[in-house]
Amino acid sequence: VPTTPLASQTIGAAFVAKVMTVGEQTVTLGIWDTAGSERYEAMSRIYYRGARAAVVCYDLTDSGSFQRAKFWVNELQNCEEGCRIYLCGTKSDLLEEDRRKRGVDFHDVQDYVDEIKADHFETSSKTGQSVDELFQKVAEDYVNFTAFQVMTEDKGVNLGQRNSPYFYSCCHH
């Protein structure tokens, strides 16, 4: 007998494609919303294999969820070398209502984010706070990082040549 109401949980994963603009480029992010519940742990791995970015979410009011987020960060760092990590604190609207609801000290999170070389956002699905900024950063980093990779993996590009096509290389059309 399930101990939590299954109807509100993600089972497996949900997919959405989000078209973004970065400068003059169009990038289509393929976003998998994987299940956070431990019972779907093995299944989540199937979806993030080969991912270039991962948004690891925790509830800003729940310190336990921050510990679970750390577990996923470790997993990603061990298994997905090319995957950039974005740590995302959710439900920031609850903190606006009452600051005492913060479950994890802001500076502790910041220290952790610096240590793992990730970005950190505090978002709210309810008010939409910082959600667009988060996905914009994911898209921008993807474009910039891919352009950088092309330059370093290839024979090399004269960085002084600003009009080099490598600066405008596109990932998805």
Q: Which residues bind ligand GTP (CB under 6 A)?
A: 8-10, 35-37, 90-91, 93-94, 124-126
Q: How far is the CB of 33 from ligand GTP (least distance, A)?
A: 7
- For residue 160, CA distances in Å to 25, 89, 140 come to 22, 39, 22
Q: Where are the beta strands (DSSP E) in 60-163?
A: 84-90, 119-122
C-beta closer to ligand GTP: residue 85 or 90: 90
For the beta carbon of residue 133, count every other beta carbon within 10 angstroms: 11
C-beta closer to ligand GTP: residue 37 or 146: 37
Please tell me the distance from the alpha carbon of residue 107 to that of residue 97, in angstroms, as a whole number: 20
Please tell me the distance from the alpha carbon of residue 168 to that of residue 144, in angstroms, as a whole number: 9
C-beta closer to ligand GTP: residue 57 or 139: 57
C-beta closer to ligand GTP: residue 66 or 124: 124
Assign 168 to helix, strand or coil: helix
**Which residues, other chains included, contact 129 with Cβ-Cβ below 8 Å and sequence gap of 6+?**
92, 93, 122, 123
C-beta closer to ligand GTP: residue 14 or 170: 14
Angle at 4 between CA 33 and CA 7, to 5 degrees: 55
- For residue 119, CA distances in Å to 29, 155, 164, 167 come to 18, 30, 29, 23
Q: How far is the CB of 146 from ligand GTP (least distance, A)?
A: 28
Q: How far is the CB of 39 from ligand GTP (least distance, A)?
A: 10
Q: How far is the CB of 81 from ligand GTP (least distance, A)?
A: 25
Q: How far is the CB of 36 from ligand GTP (least distance, A)?
A: 3
